Every structure is written in structure tokens, then in C-alpha cells.
Amino acid sequence: MKTIQFREAICEAMSEEMRRDESIYLMGEEVAEYNGAYKASKGMLDEFGPKRVIDTPISELGFTGVAIGSTMTGNRPIVEYMTFNFSLVGIDQIINNAAKIRQMSGGQFNCPIVFRGPTGSAGQLGATHSQAFESWFANTPGLKVVIPSNPYDAKGLLKSAIRDDDPVIFMESEQMYGDKGEVPEGEYTIPLGVAEVKREGTDVTIVSFGKIIKEAYKAAEELAEEGISCEIIDLRTVRPLDREAILKSVKKTNRLVVLEEAWPFGNVSTDIAYLVQSEAFDYLDAPIVKINTADTPAPYSPVLFEQWLPNKDEVIKAVKKVLYK
């Protein structure tokens, strides 16, 4: 094993796959000459050249459409957005073309493409740069949605996403690019749609994904000092959702808290809550609690932002609520 940063895991995954398959290329703003806005493509221009690592104008609608169209001529593009907030400019291409090419062509064309970049908030970036769109994309048939929380998962999942024959939304975080973690020296992949139990427990299940899961880890450590045992599931992929992993854990602990950095209405945690109450209702010893951001645009003020974003104290409060403590 070796210890690398999250950004290096992303770079390694892309580079290894591009060495393996010449039909893969990377396109986006500042991915080439600048080595990526977050240095996640450092050195790739030097290795693969300007025909496979392509700087684009500030035109998400344009380069998203170009990349999607290129899949129909045998290419497997990786599109980087500086943030998924900017993907809204090109979302018509993603929803109405990438997600539907296979069906609307009667299976004549696949659309093997990865759209990747940071999602969610990253401090004082203002309301328009602090949004989480996982549930938007996961709501669309034809798209797969992946949100890793550490370097090991990021590399293995990104390699699988690049090899997938359908469009994959791969969501990262500006605040995770510097995170370090152990990654194998050799080749490995992680299948899409498979969650992982990151911490075994017996009293309550906490389901989360992406960078916000760190708050669950902090809460679990504090709760353990009080004799409360939390089981933490990292979904890693929200579409397809690993339903069995969630149900298996809830049937063991009989309680569920879902932690998600998203607005509270119509999100991933809402769907998880419906899944558990419909398929494991008799196993529940308490109502499900979901923890989300406040139901407002993200504030710029650091004081307000701290109140807006879920934190470990809210997780602790939720766990004690389902335990009636």
C-alpha cells in the first residue's frame, strides 16, 4: 500500500485507464496547461498530449455536447467540471442526450462517458457555488451516480466508471482533494452500486456518502465513549443504490439515521427512508431520522454557513433521538 492524496488517486485512475485504452480522453476547463483546477490531472498533458488532454473554453454546454457526441464514434471521454454547479449550463446535454442515447437509438449506441468534478459546499463560496446535485442526477434513468469519500474508493470507483458503457456522474469535493489515504500499489477496481460498512456497530445504523460522512465518524467516536455503538455505511454509489446493504444493517440495529449534504426536500435520504419503512418497517424500533442542510440557499456568512451545514452534533442528537435518550 502507498499513501496518496485524493487528487492523486483521481489522476492515477484516469492515467492508468488512458494508458490501457486509447479511446479515452480528458476534456474540461484548465485540465491541460494548468494541470487541473485542483491539480487532479497533473502531468497528464505531458504524458498524453493535447489531443487526449484538452483545455476547453468556458462553455459547459458546448464541450459537454462535443464529448457526448464523440461517444457515438467510439470514444470514451472524461469530462471535468470545475464544479458541478457549472454542469447546470450543460445539463440539457446530460439529461436529454447522454442519459437517453442507448434507449432512443434502440440499443445501437452506448454512451460511455464520465462527468466528474466537485459537488456540494466548500466553505465561503456563496449560494451558487455550494449546491449538491446528486439527487437531481440520480433521479434520471440512464445515469449512474458515484460519490466517493476517500482516496481508495475514489480510485477504484473512477476506474470502474471509466470502463462502464453507460454515462456516470462522478462527484468529488474541493475539500477532499488534499485528503490522504492508503491505496494499493497494483491494479484494482471497485464495482459500482456496492456500499461498504465503514464501521461495525449494533445500536444504530448511520447511512451517508461523500465528504459529509466525516461528521458521522466524529459523532460515532464521541458516542462510543458513552457506550453507544454506531454502524456507518458509506453508500459510495447512490444510483444504483445498494438497497440490500442498508436493509441488512437496519435489520441488525433496528434504528436508522441518514446524513446527507443536500436540501431536505426530495433527496437521496428521502428515498432511503421510504425504502426502509416499506421493506423493513417491522424491524424499526424508532422513526427514521434524516439530517440535511437547512432549506435555504447556502449563506456566505461563516456564522450562518456553520448553522446551515450538517455537523457531528446534529448526528449525535439524531442518534440519541432514535435511541430515546
- Please, are residues 186 and 1 in contact by the beta-carbon 8 Å criterion? no
- Please, are residues 294 and 308 in contact by the beta-carbon 8 Å criterion? yes
DSSP 217-277: HHHHHHHHTTT--EEEEE-SEEETT-HHHHHHHHHHHS-EEEE-SS-SSS-HHHHHHHHHH
Whole-angstrom Cα distance, residue 115 to residue 286?
39
Q: For residue 199, which phi and psi values (nearest 5 degrees)?
A: -150, 125
**Non-local CB neighbours of 314 within 8 Å, separated by 6+ positions:** 215, 291
pTM for the full predicted model? 0.96
Question: What residues act catalytically?
Answer: 60, 129
Domain range 2-183, its CATH number among 2.60.40.790, 3.30.43.10, 3.30.530.20, 3.40.50.970? 3.40.50.970
- Please, are residues 228 and 323 in contact by the beta-carbon 8 Å criterion? yes
- Please, are residues 309 and 264 in contact by the beta-carbon 8 Å criterion? no
Query: Residue 302, class by beta-carbon neighbours within 10 Å (0-12 exposed, 13-18 middle, 19+ buried)?
Result: exposed
Give the start-to-end residue ranges of the domains of the chain: 2-183, 196-323
Whole-angstrom Cα distance, residue 290 to residue 269?
6
- Please, are residues 20 and 74 in contact by the beta-carbon 8 Å criterion? no
Q: Extract the C-alpha cell encoding 319.
A: 442518534
Which residues sit opposite 41 in a β-bridge?
none
**Non-local CB neighbours of 278 within 8 Å, separated by 6+ positions:** none
**Kind and range of the H or E element at 206?**
strand 204-208
Q: Do domains 2-183 and 196-323 have the same CATH topology?
A: yes
**Non-local CB neighbours of 304 within 8 Å, separated by 6+ positions:** none
CATH 3.40.50.920 fits 196-323, yes or no: yes
pLDDT in tens, the chain (325 residues): 999 999 999 999 999 999 999 999 999 999 999 999 999 999 999 999 999 999 999 999 999 999 999 999 999 999 999 999 999 999 999 999 999 999 999 999 999 999 999 999 999 999 999 999 999 999 999 999 999 999 999 999 999 999 999 999 999 999 999 999 999 999 999 999 999 999 999 999 999 999 999 999 999 999 999 999 999 999 999 999 999 999 999 999 999 999 999 999 999 999 999 999 999 999 999 999 999 999 999 999 999 999 999 999 999 999 999 999 9
**Non-local CB neighbours of 169 within 8 Å, separated by 6+ positions:** 94, 115, 116, 134, 137, 143, 144, 145, 146
What is the Cα gyration radius of the chain?
20
Whole-angstrom Cα distance, residue 147 to residue 151?
11
**3-class secondary-structure state, position 257:** strand
